[in-house]
């Protein structure tokens, strides 16, 4: 007996909403750029969990292929994002995002 | 449903672990602890994938996130020597506004998606869609071109991060 027959879909919807809101909260709450990247990963994971839940409930494997591509893009995003962070740290000796307000005008 | 099945208990335990460690990720002082809590969250989400019969995605999730992305995060944190809790925090009113905005967004999301279970769901009769056999057929029949394009994306990401990481560009 798998979870598809037992657990209703709105439980997964609620769980994903909570995880996504926690990710948004982290992005707004912290100043450390690495933690903000982690919270972006958390939001991506909330969305992929919802995609997999819908895929299982609809018996449609396409959404799981989408999740596979989302993971590939997330890995590339983290690699480039951390390289940018390293460059910021080299120039400003800090990864506080509130220092990076030169573009504000 | 009067009696509680073991699957529901597992769902609740995994959800509790995921939400608790996500909250600890945000509110912990040291970045190293945040990374460790993020690993716990990822393992809980991999457990959810297994509950949903998506075994291939669970394995790929553990390999990619716990194996590759977490190592990158830990490597950068240790290289920058950030484990000395000198981080300044935002002012109190901004933190309060952040919590309010996050809570309002959660309420909005739950309210909007509340009727999701009333959608006309096809009866889930095929439980094997998440296995490697089935997903491989879909991936290499219908999504062959995006699959090859993602390898170009990886090449571009690799070249870009090497170029960003270099000290001087001659």
Q: How far apart are CA A84 and CA B31, in angstroms?
A: 18
Q: What is the pLDDT of residue B117?
A: 62
Which structural domain range is residue A69 located in? 3-98
Please write the tens of the pLDDT for every residue from B38-60. Answer: 999 999 999 999 998 888 999 99
Does some domain include residue A41?
yes
Q: Answer whether residue A103 is part of any domain.
A: no
| Count of structural domains within chain A | 1
- B127 vs A2: CB contact, 8 Å cut-off? yes
Mean pLDDT for the stretch of residues B16-24: 94
Q: pLDDT tens digits, residue range B83-103? A: 666 667 778 888 899 899 999
The alpha carbon of B168 is separated from its chain's Cα centroid by a whole number of angstroms, namely 34
Instruction: Report the candidate in A17, A24, A44 with the shortest Cα–Cα distance to residue B116.
Output: A17
Of the candidate ranges A15-19, B2-6, B139-143, the one whose mean pLDDT is the lowest: B2-6
DSSP state of A101: -
Closest CA to B58 of B68, B42, B69, B46: B46
Query: Rounded to whole angstroms, how far apart are CA atoms A32 and A77?
Result: 18
Query: Using CB atoms and an 8 Å cut-off, which of residues 75-134 of chain B contact chain A?
Result: 76-77, 79-80, 82, 87-90, 95, 97-99, 101-103, 105-106, 109-110, 113-114, 116-117, 119, 121-122, 124-127, 129-130, 134
- Of all residues in chain A, the one with the smallest CA distance to B5 is A6
User: Is A104 among the domain residues?
Assistant: no
CB A42 within 8 A of CB B19: no
In a domain, A29, yes or no: yes
- For residue A64, give the CATH number of its domain: 1.10.287.3510
Query: Who among A80, A85, A90 is closest to B160 (CB)?
Result: A80
pLDDT of residue B120: 57
Q: SS3 of A96, please?
A: strand
Calculate what percentage of chain A has a pLDDT beyond 70.
94
pLDDT tens for B68-84 read: 898 999 988 888 877 66
Closest CA to B26 of A70, A37, A49, A13: A37
Position A84 in a domain: yes
Interface confidence: ipTM more than 0.85: yes
Q: Considering the domain boundaries, does residue A105 fall inside one?
A: no
């Amino acid at each position: 007996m798998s979870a598809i027959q037992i657990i209703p879909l709105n439980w997964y919807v609620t769980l994903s909403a909570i995880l996504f809101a926690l990710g948004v909260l982290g992005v707004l709450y912290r100043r450390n750029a690495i933690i903000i990247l982690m919270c972006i990963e958390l939001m991506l994971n909330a969305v992929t969990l919802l995609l997999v839940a819908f895929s299982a409930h609809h018996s449609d494997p396409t959404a799981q292929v989408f999740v596979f591509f989302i993971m590939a893009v997330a890995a590339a995003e983290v690699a480039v994002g951390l390289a940018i962070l390293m460059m910021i740290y080299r120039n400003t000796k800090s990864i506080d995002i509130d220092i990076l307000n030169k573009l504000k005008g | 449903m009067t009696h509680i099945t073991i699957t529901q208990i597992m769902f609740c335990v995994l959800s509790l672990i995921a939400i608790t460690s996500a909250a600890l990720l945000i509110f912990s002082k040291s970045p190293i602890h945040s990374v460790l809590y993020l690993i716990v969250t990822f393992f809980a989400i991999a457990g959810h994938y297994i509950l949903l019969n998506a075994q291939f995605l669970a394995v790929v999730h553990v390999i990619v996130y716990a194996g590759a992305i977490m190592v990158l995060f830990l490597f950068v944190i240790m290289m920058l020597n950030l484990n000395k809790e000198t981080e300044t925090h935002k002012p109190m009113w901004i933190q309060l506004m952040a919590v309010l905005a996050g809570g309002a967004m959660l309420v909005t999301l739950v309210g909007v998606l509340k009727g999701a279970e009333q959608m006309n769901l096809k009866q889930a009769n095929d439980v094997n869609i998440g296995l490697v056999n089935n997903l491989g057929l879909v991936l290499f029949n219908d999504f062959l071109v995006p699959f090859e394009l993602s390898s170009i994306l990886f090449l571009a990401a690799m070249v870009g991060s090497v170029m960003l990481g270099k000290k001087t560009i001659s």
